[in-house]
Amino acid sequence: MRLKASIGILVVFVILFSGCYDREGEESDILIYRMNEQIINPPDSFKIVMPLRPNTTLRTFFRDSVNSVWKINKQQASNRLVWLKRTISPDSIKRFYINQDTLGLEADIQYQILGSNNNFDEQRTVYVKFVRLPLNYEDFPQKF
């Protein structure tokens, strides 16, 4: 009788918690890059997965051969910092913090994409989704 009760409780927990697993980062039709991979001339949509451990900052590099307008969306961790960094010269560095933004990114410029978990004690996986938009880069006002 105790075995049946234990199995019953286990089944209830499995049913309750199976819907809690967030599959937002698991789109089968989109290319997923891991941190520390060089992203060169990417497809029109892709994601970067950032497994952020406590007190860490991870980075990867992005470069495209054409001027493009990108919709960039940080997913699954609204309180974690994710930003783009562009080194213009040794004395000039630009940063842009990402939540859900649309930016014009210049061709043949190396951008760094960084994720930070420095203020949190638990590990969190962050996805950053990039989608190239069919907008004219030259006319787009928000360039980085």
pLDDT classification of 37: cutoffs 50, 70, 90: confident
Is residue 110 included in any domain, yes or no?
yes
Q: At 13, is the secondary structure helix, strand, or coil?
A: helix
Q: Which domain holds residue 107?
A: 25-133
**Helix, strand or coil for residue 67?**
coil
CA proximity to 122, closest of 62, 46, 53:
53
The CA–CA distances, whole Å, from 71 to 10, 124, 131 equal: 43, 23, 5
Quote the number of domains for the chain.
1
Distance CA 38, CA 57 (A): 17
Identify the band that residue 13 occupies on the pLDDT scale cut at 50, 70 and 90. very low
User: How many Cα atoms within 13 Å fall on the side-chain side of residue 6?
Assistant: 3
Q: What is the pLDDT of residues 54-88, one digit of tens each?
A: 877 888 999 999 999 999 998 876 667 888 888 77
106 is a domain residue = yes
* Residue 128 placed within a domain: yes
